[in-house]
């Protein structure tokens, strides 16, 4: 092999490594873009940073009970609130943003548990967080747990009762007759609501509201009729 052939081979090797580096650079950019694209909606929608491996705080039963009380109290104090901002951090002014905001104010950052499957929005996100990291139940609940509802509005505008995970509220009190008092962000703002699954076909009994209307559609608009599940964010 003469000197000219050696130079040519060296040039070919240099070009090969150059194109190999370019390939990896663009491959990396492509992967980064995919990650950015997949999470862009969630980041803009909730205004938070994605954390893939949440650091869990360990609480004993006494601490959990105190946090539950704090969440219920803060939710009640937030009735009439016009925005959800804490530590210069803004949360979406809707029912799910209200839950993220209240828990964050009480020291629990639910956004750190974000699940990358949100075809149905923020309420679905809360459901997935509870299902994947904590628990859900149709019969067990406590104050500071949340209630998830279906069909509170016609999200897909097809005129059918097939809209899952459309509303969420925080439980603040449980009355002796089984009526659950909750606070939620409705179309009218942050306010109280009521649900009684033991008397699910009644709106008012003895002048007391036991099931609030969450939409205008007769008995089908009652909270008890629209109930999906309870979700807890405590172990």
Divide the 235 residues of the chain into consecutive groups of 10 and give the mean pLDDT of each group. 46 48 38 30 37 60 94 98 95 97 96 77 94 94 98 94 96 97 97 97 96 91 98 93
Q: In DSSP terms, which residues pair with 231 in a beta bridge?
A: 136, 146
pLDDT at 1: 52
pLDDT at 80: 96
Q: Are strands 227-232 and 89-91 parallel, antiparallel or unpaired?
A: unpaired
pLDDT at 40: 36
27 phi, psi to nearest 5 deg? -65, -45
Which segments of the chain does DSSP mark as H helices, in order? Answer: 3-46, 61-77, 95-105, 122-133, 223-226
pLDDT at 60: 83
Cβ atoms within 10 Å, residue 180 = 25
């Amino acid at each position: 092999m003469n000197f000219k052939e050696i130079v040519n081979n060296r040039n070919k090797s240099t070009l090969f490594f150059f194109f190999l580096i370019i390939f990896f650079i663009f491959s990396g950019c492509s992967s980064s873009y995919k990650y950015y694209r997949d999470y862009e909606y969630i980041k803009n929608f909730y205004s938070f940073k994605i954390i893939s491996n949440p650091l869990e705080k360990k609480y004993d039963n006494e601490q959990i009970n105190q946090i539950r009380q704090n969440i219920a109290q803060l939710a009640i104090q937030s009735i009439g609130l016009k925005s959800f901002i804490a530590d210069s951090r803004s949360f979406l002014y809707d029912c799910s943003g209200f839950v993220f905001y209240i828990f964050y104010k009480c020291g629990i950052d639910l956004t750190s548990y974000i699940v990358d499957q949100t075809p149905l929005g923020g309420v679905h996100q809360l459901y997935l967080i509870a299902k994947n990291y904590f628990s859900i139940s149709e019969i067990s609940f406590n104050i500071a747990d949340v209630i998830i509802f279906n069909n509170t509005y016609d999200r897909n505008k097809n005129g059918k009762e097939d809209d899952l995970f459309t509303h969420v509220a925080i439980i603040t009190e449980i009355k002796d007759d089984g009526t659950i008092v909750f606070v939620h962000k409705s179309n009218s703002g942050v306010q109280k609501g009521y649900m009684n699954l033991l008397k699910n076909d009644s709106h008012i009994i003895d002048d007391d509201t036991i099931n609030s209307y969450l939409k205008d559609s007769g008995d089908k608009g009652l909270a008890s009729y629209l109930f999906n599940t309870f979700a807890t964010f405590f172990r």
